[in-house]
């Protein structure tokens, strides 16, 4: 079985949002077209409490983009984003949700960030996504969404290590690019670790 995983296609990562990913909106029509080619469609949702410790606002004298240690591991500081029960945490109104079988929230614990849709950044807790997919006999996962250099990357790398045959659809992801080449590097690293890269055309033409 094949699943399409929609990573964090939420208002705060889109134009006008608190952590807007450049050109992030461009992927939405492609993601909408792709959905009918899959047995299952899953969405992840970055869903932080208001005092989440990935927010620069929680530290005095720290700026967005700076690194801190959070529970012993490096943590990039972000603007407040995807706060639970706010509009920024909602999925884009332009995103087709009719075919979404299940939503997996992540980053819900104040003290642990979670880029991957499968595990938190310390790999202590899992979201239930692995079990869900295996329960549906999914063996192939295709990943789209935001952001290439964070949540898409870690979701794809975890998918490979959990034994899924894993693809990233390159024209249906966009990166934050704190450094200019961050997305290109992220895609290279994913490929080196066994993620396959394809474009939406490869799927839509079949
Ligand atoms: C993300 C930074 C912080 C993402 C989530 O969805 O890639 N990036 N939280
Ligand atoms: Zn976040």
What's the rounded Cα separation, in Å, for the pair 144 and 43?
10
182 φ, ψ (degrees, to nearest 5): -60, -40
**Residue 189: which residues within 8 A CB-CB, separation 6 or more?**
153, 157
Q: Which of 46, 54, 149, 168 to mutate to test the pocket of ligand 1 (most atoms within 8 A of CB)?
A: 46
What's the rounded Cα separation, in Å, for the pair 124 and 112?
9
**pTM of full prediction above 0.75:** yes
pLDDT digits (tens, 9 = 90+) for 33-75: 999 999 999 999 999 999 999 999 999 999 999 999 998 999 9
Nearest residue (by CA) to ligand 1, atom 4, is 151
pLDDT of residue 195: 98
What's the rounded Cα separation, in Å, for the pair 187 and 151?
12
User: Which residue is catalytic, options 25, 46, 82, 106?
Assistant: 106
Pick the atom of ligand 1 nearest to 78's CA: 3
Q: What is the average pLDDT across 17-24?
A: 98
Q: What are the residue ranges spanned by the domains of the chain?
A: 2-48+91-204
- CATH classification of 2-48+91-204, choosing from 3.40.630.30, 3.30.1240.10, 3.40.50.850, 3.40.50.300? 3.40.50.850
pLDDT of residue 206: 73
122 φ, ψ (degrees, to nearest 5): -95, 0
């Amino acid at each position: 079985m094949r699943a399409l995983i929609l990573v964090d296609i939420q208002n705060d990562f889109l134009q006008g949002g608190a952590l807007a990913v450049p050109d992030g909106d461009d992927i939405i029509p492609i993601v909408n077209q792709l959905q009918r080619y899959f047995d299952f469609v899953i969405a992840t949702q970055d869903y932080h409490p208001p005092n989440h410790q990935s927010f620069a606002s929680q530290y005095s004298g720290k700026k967005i983009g700076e690194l801190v240690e959070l529970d012993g591991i490096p943590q990039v500081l972000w603007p407040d984003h995807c706060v639970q029960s706010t509009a920024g945490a909602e999925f884009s109104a332009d995103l087709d949700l009719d075919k979404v079988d299940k939503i997996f929230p992540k980053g819900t614990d104040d003290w642990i960030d979670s880029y991957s849709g499968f595990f938190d950044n310390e790999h202590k807790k899992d979201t239930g996504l692995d079990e869900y997919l295996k329960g549906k006999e999914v063996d192939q996962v295709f990943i789209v969404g935001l952001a290439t250099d964070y949540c898409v990357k870690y979701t794809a790398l975890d998918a490979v290590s959990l034994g899924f045959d894993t693809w990233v659809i390159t024209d249906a992801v966009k990166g934050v690019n704190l450094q200019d080449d961050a997305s290109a590097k992220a895609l290279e690293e994913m490929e080196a670790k066994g993620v396959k890269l394809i474009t939406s055309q490869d799927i839509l033409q079949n």
